[in-house]
Amino acid sequence: MEGYTTANFQVAENFRIKYLGTKGIVKSMMAEMKNIPAEKRKEFGQVMNDFKVFAEAKYETLKEINSNQQSGSGIQMDLSLPGDSLIPGSRHPITLMRNRIVSIFQRLGFSVADGPEIEDDWHNFTALNISEHHPARDMQDTFYIQGHNSNSTEWLLRTHTSNVQIREMEKTRQPDGKAKLPIRIICPGRVFRNETVSARSHCFFHQVEGLYIDENVSFADLKQTLYFFAQEMYGKDIKPRFRPSYFPFTEPSAEMDITCFICGGKGCRICKQTGWVEILGCGMVHPKVLENCGIDSNKYTGFAFGMGIERPAMLLYGVNDIRLFSENDVRFLRQFTSVT
Ligand code: PHE
């Protein structure tokens, strides 16, 4: 304490001597007055006076800090200490992955579209050609919302972000009944499925879905777009594979695999020795889905795709329990230092 006050007293005293002392800067500048041309003298005097007032105020402040410390009434301040270091936060790993995926598609001209997490049956199921008896509608898979029944609408937590695609397609409808296209969107967001929570699966997770509709969009466009995405995301050396699949809202439908980005296709624990990992579902938008949204399916075609974020994030970051993403444990989150 003694040391601090002496040091601070010295700081104040040094300041006084340098600026306000008999041989100080203010005095010697005043002495210059006689060399200033008469017509400039007034202006010079004013500037000098302002400077003197400023220096005196600064000196008073320095003295005050010193006396506060001596009386013990103020904050202890050692002006020679370095400042507190600033610890920057970090982005959540799911956000990092989402941003990576989104930025790749943005470079291809896709823009981000957003939509509600609480959704009606039409936008989550019916418009997507998911029939009344489809197992996805089962209470076992979908969270239905009770007591949200203003009219006879059935409300639920969306099971995929395809609801945003329907909403965006509906928005293209013009007053004359025709649709204004093209659409080129990606829909990142949180989705909910009534699954048992374990290290491998959770009752909510994140997806990025995409949709491109225009005249003459073909399956070749789908393949090339998704191949470009996979190379940007997982490395130039990966090879793609499209396996026939089924989704009610696309026809034909496919699942896209890539050569395992951990072992390079040789076979490892991650790819269960197959050399391949599945990364997304995709297909050509079913004509019925286009018609449900007022788009002429004879004139327009399109492709759609959807992928989860948690699973690739687990593989790329080496996370072995999906629950870690939603527990907000800073010891986990702090490890993701990137802020991009
Ligand atoms: N909606 C599908 C899902 O949630 C993903 C998907 C989107 C598949 C678009 C094909 C085309 O699993």
Render each residue's pLDDT in the chain as its tens digit; 340 residues.
Answer: 444 556 677 888 898 999 999 999 989 988 888 888 888 888 898 999 999 999 999 998 888 877 766 665 556 677 888 888 887 788 999 999 999 999 999 999 999 999 999 999 999 999 999 988 888 788 778 999 987 666 667 899 999 999 999 999 999 988 887 778 999 999 999 999 999 999 999 999 999 999 999 999 999 999 999 999 999 999 999 999 999 999 999 999 999 999 998 899 999 988 999 999 999 999 999 999 999 999 999 999 999 999 999 999 998 899 999 999 999 999 999 888 765 5
User: 222 CA to middle of ligand 1, Å?
Assistant: 14
CB 233 within 8 A of CB 104: yes
Q: What distances in angstroms separate CA 200 from CA 135, 321, 324, one per listed residue? A: 21, 6, 11
Q: What distances in angstroms separate CA 225 from CA 93, 175, 188, 259, 340, one per listed residue? A: 25, 32, 17, 17, 24
Measure the CA dihedral 144/146/152/155, to 10°.
-40
CB 162 within 8 A of CB 90: no
Tokens 């980005």, located at residue: 261
CB-ligand 1 contact for 15 (6 Å cutoff): no
CB 190 within 8 A of CB 157: no
Determine the topology of domain 93-336 in CATH. Answer: BirA Bifunctional Protein; domain 2 (3.30.930)
Q: How far apart are CA 58 and CA 66, in angstroms?
A: 13
User: 278 CA to middle of ligand 1, Å?
Assistant: 13
- Atom 5 (ligand 1) nearest CA: 306
pLDDT of residue 338: 62
Q: 314 φ, ψ to 5°?
A: -65, -40
Q: For strands 183-192 and 111-112, give the pairing.
A: parallel
pLDDT of residue 3: 43
CB-ligand 1 contact for 208 (6 Å cutoff): no
CB-ligand 1 contact for 283 (6 Å cutoff): yes
CA angle 138, 305, 212 (to 5 degrees): 125
Closest CA to 140 of 191, 196, 189: 196
The one-character DSSP state at 199 is S
Omega within 30 of 0 (cis) for the link into 252 = yes
For the CA of 191, the nearest atom of ligand 1: 4
Q: H or E stretch including 5?
A: helix 2-15
CB 185 within 8 A of CB 111: yes
Q: Among 158, 186, 191, 249, which residue has the most ligand 1 atoms within 8 Å of its CB, making it the best to mutate? A: 249
CB-ligand 1 contact for 93 (6 Å cutoff): no
> Would you give the distance in Å from CA 258 to the centre of its chain?
25
CB-ligand 1 contact for 209 (6 Å cutoff): yes
CB 201 within 8 A of CB 195: yes
Q: How far apart are CA 98 and CA 92, in angstroms?
A: 10
**What is the model's pTM?**
0.75
Q: What distances in angstroms separate CA 133 from CA 3, 51, 193, 220, 328, one per listed residue? A: 82, 84, 17, 33, 38
The one-character DSSP state at 178 is -
Q: 109 φ, ψ to 5°?
A: 95, 10
Closest CA to 325 of 313, 340, 339, 307: 313
Tokens 């302002």, located at residue: 50
CB-ligand 1 contact for 160 (6 Å cutoff): yes
Residue 213 exposure: Cα atoms within 13 Å on the Cβ side: 27
Residue 264 CB-density burial (10 A; 0-12 exposed, 13-18 middle, 19+ buried):
middle
pLDDT of residue 74: 55
Q: How far apart are CA 160 and CA 283, in angstroms?
A: 15
CB-ligand 1 contact for 306 (6 Å cutoff): yes
